[in-house]
Chain A
Amino acid sequence: MPAPDDWTPRSDAYFASPLAQGTPGKQCGLAATGDYQPSLRSPWLAAAATVDVKKVARELAKDDGVVFSEDYVYMCSDPGQTAVIDAIKDNDLNGMVISCCSPTLHEKTFRDASELGDLNAFQCEIANIREQCAWVHSDMEVATEKALKITRASVRRVQHNQALEPIGVPVTRRALVVGGGIAGIQAALDMTDAGLDVILVEKQATIGGNMLKLSETFPTLDCSQCILSPKMVSVSKNAKITLMTESEVESISGFVGNFKVKIKKKAEFVDPELCKLCDDCTPVCPVAVPNEYDVGLTNRRAIYIPFAQAIPASFTLDEEACLGLDPVVCGKCEEVCDVGAIDYDKKPTVTEEEVGAIIVATGFDLYGMEHMGEFGGGRYPDVLDGLQFERLCSASGATEGHIMRPSDHKVPKEIVFIQCSGSRDPENHCAYCSKICCMYTAKHATLYKHHVPDGQAYIFYIDIRSGGKGYEEFVQRSMENDGVIYLRGRVSRVYEKDGKLKVMGVDTLAGRNVEIDADMVVLAQAMEPSKGTAEIAKILKIGRDKDGFLAEAHPKLKPVESVTAGIYLAGAAQGPKDIPETVSQAGAAASKVIALLSKDQLAHSPTVAKVRDPYCTGCEMCVDACPYDAIALVDGKASVNEILCEGCGSCVGVCVRAAIDVKNVTQLQIHEMISAIMA
Chain B
Amino acid sequence: MSNPSKTTEVQTFEPRIVAFLCKWCSSAGSDLAGVSRIQYSANATPITIPCSGSVSPMYILSAFNKGADGVLISGCHPGDCHYMEGNYLARRKLYLVKELLQFIGLESERFRMSWVSAAEGVKFAEVVDEFVEDLRVLGPQNRLKAER
Pairwise interchain contact A136-B33, C-beta atoms closer than 8 A: yes
A31 CA / B53 CA spacing, docked (Å):
41
Residues of B45-70 contacting chain A, CB below 8 A: 45-51, 53-56, 58-59, 61-63, 65-68
Q: Which residues from A are CB-within-8-Å of B61?
A: 1
**B28 partner, pick from A104, A627, A650, beta carbons under 8 A:** A104
Residues A649 and B42 in contact, CB atoms below 8 Å apart: no
Residues from chain B with a CB closer than 8 A to the CB of A677 are 16, 18, 45, 47
Q: Which B residues touch A131, using CB under 8 A? A: 30-35
The answer to whether the Cβ of B95 comes within 8 Å of any Cβ in the partner chain is: no
Q: How far is the CA of A561 from the CA of B93 in the complex (A)?
A: 34
Judge whether B49 and A150 touch: CB under 8 Å. Answer: no
Whether B79 lies near A667 (C-beta < 8 A) is no
Tell me which residues across on chain B come within 8 A of A646, comparing CB atoms.
83
B residues contacting A by CB (< 8 A) are 1, 16, 18, 24, 27-28, 30-35, 37-40, 42, 45-51, 53-56, 58-59, 61-63, 65-68, 79-80, 82-86, 89-90, 93, 118-119, 125
Pull 8 A–B residue pairs with CB atoms less than 8 Å apart, ordered by A.
A1-B65, A132-B30, A538-B79, A541-B84, A650-B86, A670-B59, A671-B62, A677-B16
Determine how close the nearest CB of chain B comes to the CB of A163; give it in whole angstroms: 19
A137 to chain B, nearest CB (A): 4
- How far is B54's CA from A670's CA once the two chains are assembled, in angstroms? 11
Known: A670-B47, A674-B66. A136 touches B38 (CB 8 A): yes
Check if A654 is an interface residue, CB within 8 A of chain B: yes
Interface status of A203 (Cβ within 8 A of chain B): no
Least Cβ–Cβ distance between B66 and chain A, in angstroms: 4
With the chains together, A33 CA to B85 CA distance in Å?
Answer: 48
Q: A671-B62, A674-B18 are in contact. Are A649 and B54 (CB under 8 A)?
A: yes
- 4 closest A-B pairs by CB: A649-B54, A131-B34, A648-B83, A678-B66
Q: In the complex, A662→B23 CA distance in Å? A: 14
What are the residues of chain A within 8 A of B63 when measuring CB–CB? Answer: 674, 678
* A-B CB contacts (within 8 Å), total count: 149
B50 touches A153 (CB 8 A): no
Contacts of B80 in A (CB 8 A): 543
Contacts of B28 in A (CB 8 A): 104
Is the CB–CB distance between B31 and A648 below 8 Å? no
Residues on B with C-beta less than 8 A from A137 are 1, 39-40, 42
Q: A1-B65, A131-B30 are in contact. List 17 more A-B contacts (CB 8 A).
A: A1-B62, A104-B31, A131-B32, A132-B46, A134-B34, A142-B42, A543-B118, A647-B50, A648-B50, A649-B53, A650-B54, A658-B58, A665-B49, A667-B59, A671-B59, A678-B66, A678-B68
Q: In whole angstroms, how far apart are the Cα atoms of A143 and B41 in the complex?
A: 10
B50 & A673 in contact (Cβ 8 Å cutoff): no
The CA of A674 and the CA of B146, in the complex, are separated in Å by 14
Contact A150 B54 (CB under 8 A): no
From B47, B49, B65, give the contact of A649 (CB < 8 A): B49
CA distance A658 to B59 in the complex (A): 11
Nearest B residue to A624 via CB reads B89
Task: Tell me which residues across on chain B come within 8 A of A647, comparing CB atoms.
Answer: 50
